[in-house]
Amino acid sequence: MSDYLQMWKDLDMDIETHDMLCQVLPTAFGDTFLSMENRPESMGFYDFVVSEIHGIRPSEMIAAQAEGKKVVGTFCVYVPDEVINAAGALFSGLCGGSQFWVPGGEKYLPKNTCPLVKASLGARFDRTCPFFRLVDMIVGETTCDAKKKAYEILGQDVPMYIMDMPQMKRDIDIQKWADEIKAFAAKMEELTGNTITIDGLNDAIKTINNKRKALARIYDARKNADNIPISGLDALLIMQIAFFDDPARCAEMANKVADELEQRNKDGVSVFPAGTKRILLTGTPLAIPNWKLHHIIETSGAAVVCEEMCTGTRYFENLVDEDNATLDDAYMALSKRYMKNNCSCFTPNQGRIDDILRMAKEYNVDGVIDTNLKFCCLYDTERRSVEEAMNEAGIPFLGIETDYTDSDAEQLRTRIEAFVEMLG
Amino acid sequence: MYYIGVDIGSTCAKTTVTDADGKIYFQEVCPTGWSSVDTAENIRKQLADAGFDPKDNVVVATGYGRVAIPYSDKTVTEITCHCAGAVQLFGHQEMGVIDIGGQDTKIIEVEHGMVKNFIMNDKCSAGTGRFLEVMANTLSVTPDQLTVLAEGGSDTSISSLCTVFAESEVISLIGRGEKKENIAFAVVDSIVRKVASQASRMHLAGKPVCLTGGLCDSEYIRKALSNELKMDVETCPQARYAGSIGATVFARKLGAKKS
């Protein structure tokens, strides 16, 4: 990594502890990613971003702040990036994906809290992540109980704004989310001192839609039944980086990858041998640098061809209506798109089951692996309905609960290898 | 040409050698010890001494130590191998297989002689051979003796599923003067209930259920499991070798491909 020491010092980071993280990441990345063969050339950009993960994008954000712009941290794919963008602010996904931060979070949270929430609090309070340090405000949302309560603790250390998520999908809930988005827009205006105009919001909607379309192209290329142009790991990395990159650049880079993948499909260039079993991975998000399951699956004779996850299809599926006449129309258009997302915090949540069945077909999968982070009671409980639906549809299914540690890696490998053997 | 299956489990390593027709020529079990690599080497020597040198024959490795066997031609997971082994041993194409191993317990749903679905304990060692071993140790008996003692006991239970907490419970029971037989009964009862609860999540109704793994020698465990599941659990003396027998099935397939 280039020299960002002064920047980290200015962010009041714990340099010594952070150095330990900087030392392990390149090895983890090298072992997992650089050992793969025949990766798309366009992955070079993403490799570079990882190599400078705590430097390059934070320094861009800090430069924007020097020009008077604000940076907002988010934790959920329901928080509308369009509103942040229209207010002239930058956004960054913040979810923690490393065991490195978990013990820090356990100082503040019960041990039986999901590792994503623990890692996130640990990253902020232990002062070992520049993104967590540089944000002017964090936007939380009432998706799950662990996050709701953790935000109260986080709010003691950093300005927090909470959006109240509906938990059902009736018309009144869609109206309610539109109202929440409007209230959030007012908060963003207050934070930035800028006024959100309908033209500005329509532009922001187009910008984020373009990013969604570009990411969707990558996933479309993964649907090819005869060719696997990109590993699940590389696709996951693109999604993970999309959460904090500039949206226009994200679209540009994703389109470059998509171009290459489409060409690979034409030329029959695959990163896996013919006959490799195709897996749809569903469940809880895989925040950077959580590459554990993809790595185990893809070194056990199978390939991940789709992620029905927040770090996957939930991030880009469905577009927001463009060219809205009024701000209220735009807030409703946003609400309608976001409420099409199917997180297990909703009840009932048949939409997610339908999504999984649809994706199993679209991506020509041989089996579904549903995973949840330990102590995520929502996804864990919903597994039963997912499994029943897969049994009924005759789609082989494996459920896996895991966390960020490597302690269960060999057990998981046995289970995943056996599942792949079962697929024939 | 012989076909060799080596199953290195967490507690015991099992080896089976067959000819092309599946006739068994050699079968051996030994403790895994602390090093799978050393165990693999000992097995190699044993095989070579008995005239089945791995380098001249086809070897399939399974079990958690499967990657530690340098002379294997292929590795197959113990889940797939236990299924194939049980199909050979019990002759059912449709069945449930319960394998109580040293550190994990697997329930396998078998359809058309293949794995249809499976679950493994993933949280802890409750309901495994290790649980039995730890408790036997606390009671100063061998696991075999414990299952014999259990037959004469009754009316005591251990509520904790965590092996460490359950051990404390056993120590409390010893402390208050509970009969050894009753404590042994409670230990086996705890394992059986845990295994049955896992099995209840699989679709085993109306199918034969077969017990494989190290605990198959205990008639008492078979009976207790049958009572808890309300179905007659089958087993046979060779069932502890199910994993290695299954591995020979894949060795024969591999051999057929090679020749």
Give tens-digit pLDDT for A29-61: 999 999 999 999 999 999 999 999 999 999 999
Q: Give the nearest chain B residue to A384 (CA atoms).
A: B201
Domain range spanning residue B38?
3-79+242-258
Summarize chain A as % helix, strand, coil (round to 5).
55, 10, 35
The whole-number pLDDT of residue B258 equals 62
- B225 lies in a domain? no
Res. A303 pLDDT band, cuts 50 70 90 = very high
- B63 lies in a domain? yes
For residue range A170-209, what is the model confidence (pLDDT) as tens digits? 999 999 999 999 999 999 999 999 999 999 999 999 999 9
The whole-number pLDDT of residue B259 equals 57
A417 touches chain B (CB under 8 A): yes
Which candidate, B83, B60, B4, B67, places its Cα nearest to that of B242? B83
Rounded mean pLDDT, B38-64: 95
Which residue type occupies A99?
A: Q
Lowest mean pLDDT among A400-404, B155-159, B232-236: B155-159
Using a CB–CB cut-off of 8 Å, the residues of B that contact A are 64, 76-80, 104, 114-118, 120, 122
Torsion of CA B129, B134, B136, B139, to 10 degrees: -160
Which residue type occupies A401?
A: E
- B252 lies in a domain? yes
Percent of chain B residues past pLDDT 70, beyond the cut: 98
CATH, residue B23: 3.30.420.40
Structure tokens, B79: 């889940």
- B68 lies in a domain? yes
CA–CA separation, A63 and A55 (whole Å): 12
- B212 lies in a domain? no
Lowest mean pLDDT among A89-98, A410-419, B133-142: B133-142
Res. A3 pLDDT band, cuts 50 70 90 = confident
Tell me whether residues B77 and A411 touch, CB distance under 8 A: no
- B231 lies in a domain? no
Rounded mean pLDDT, A272-296: 97
Task: State how far residue B77 is from chain A, nearest Cα, in angstroms.
Answer: 6
User: Which of A383, A419, A420 would best serve as a mutation to test chain B binding (most B beta carbons within 10 A)?
Assistant: A419
- B42 lies in a domain? yes
For residue range A127-149, what is the model confidence (pLDDT) as tens digits? 999 999 999 999 999 999 999 99
Contacts of A139 (CB under 8 A, 6+ apart): A72, A73, A74, A75, A79, A160, A161, A162, A163, A184
Number of domains in chain B: 1
CA–CA separation, A157 and A87 (whole Å): 24
- B11 lies in a domain? yes
CA distances from B106 to A198, A408, B82 (A): 59, 16, 9
List chain B residues with CB under 8 Å of A422. Answer: 79-80, 114-118
Tell me whether residues A421 and B104 touch, CB distance under 8 A: no
The whole-number pLDDT of residue B256 equals 76
Contacts of B23 (CB under 8 A, 6+ apart): none
* Cβ–Cβ under 8 Å, residues A27 and A78: no
The whole-number pLDDT of residue A1 equals 59
Tell me whether residues B64 and A415 touch, CB distance under 8 A: no
List chain B residues with CB under 8 Å of A415. Answer: 79, 120, 122
User: φ and ψ at A375, to 5 degrees?
Assistant: 75, 10
For residue range A309-352, what is the model confidence (pLDDT) as tens digits? 999 999 999 999 999 999 999 999 999 999 999 999 999 999 99
Percent of chain A residues past pLDDT 90, beyond the cut: 98
CA–CA separation, B40 and A166 (whole Å): 58
CA–CA separation, A380 and A401 (whole Å): 8
Give this prediction's pTM: 0.94
